[in-house]
């Protein structure tokens, strides 16, 4: 299974943008990049996904490098409710989603 690497933790101030990086140097052409987040005491929830082009939705934006070896999840204005563990995952037509330790985001008031 393709692997990703993320920083263990990051901090942000409330109402400031947050850029969460993810490296996936072994990505293949058919791998989708998925981002999930896990709020305290909850199951992971889907945030956004992309293949090659940058993507936007109501929760976040996903910026994908031209060579696809890295991506960045962008929260445009962090709120206290965005404090969570964020997971970057690759998925292809296989069945396994491999969750690493993720990045623990702290949002300071």
CB of 17 to another protein, least distance (A): 24
Smallest CA-to-CA distance from 36 within 91, 77, 76, 89 is with 89
Which spans of this chain sit near another protein (rule: CB under 8 A)? 30-32, 34, 36, 41-46, 49, 51, 87, 91-93, 95-102
- Nearer to another protein by C-beta: 72 or 91? 91
Phi, psi at 82, each rounded to 5°: -85, -5
Structure token pair of residue 53: 């082009």
Q: How far is the CB of 48 from another protein (least distance, A)?
A: 9
Q: Name the minimum Å distance from CB 47 to another protein.
A: 9
CA distance 58 to 75: 10
Q: Which is nearer to another protein, 11 or 15 (CB)?
A: 11
CB nearer to another protein: pick between 68 and 87: 87
Dihedral of alpha carbons 80, 23, 90, 50, sign: positive
- Tokens in use for 85? 């563990």
């Amino acid at each position: 299974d393709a692997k990703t690497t993320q920083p263990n933790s990051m901090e942000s101030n409330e109402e400031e943008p947050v850029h969460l990086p993810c490296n996936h140097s072994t990505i293949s052409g058919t791998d989708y990049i998925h981002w999930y987040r896990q709020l305290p005491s909850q199951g992971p929830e889907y945030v956004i996904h992309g293949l090659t082009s940058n993507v936007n939705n109501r929760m976040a934006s996903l910026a994908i490098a031209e060579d696809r070896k890295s991506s960045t999840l962008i929260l445009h204005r962090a709120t206290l409710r965005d404090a969570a563990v964020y997971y970057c995952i690759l998925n292809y037509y296989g069945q396994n989603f491999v969750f690493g330790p993720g990045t623990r985001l702290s949002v300071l008031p």
